[in-house]
Amino acid sequence: QVQLVESGGGSVQAGGSLRLSCAVFGYTTSSYCMGWFRRAPGKEREGVAAIYIGANIIVYADSVKGRFTISQDNAKNTMYLQMNSLKPEDTDMYYCAAAPWCSGASALRQDMYPYWGQGTQVTVSS
């Protein structure tokens, strides 16, 4: 059974940093497409970043390019999202997700991902 568990959310002032973690159980991160998504109440879920080592794919939403970095540690079966220069508009619930495969064009589409974590809240104050 596939299980994803996020951690690392919290409250930070604008300009600060946070690192989110997604621990994976039930499969190997190196063989799956992994993504980070976020959603504020009343809004659609937005793809933030995705990584698929097997296809040499790393993609970011335009809104986070240059500020966020996605990575994974296959030895720990864990994916990370390093978030720097945080802005109040980054305030959201953040979710990690996994899919058996993805392409560069589809990696930020939530409908590609059958497995989801429970989410971790990130709050950025001005």
Residue 37 · residue 46 · CB < 8 Å:
yes
pLDDT in tens, 59-74: 999 999 999 999 999 8
pLDDT digits (tens, 9 = 90+) for 77-110: 999 999 999 999 999 999 999 999 999 999 999 9
Confidence of residue 55 (pLDDT cuts 50, 70, 90): confident
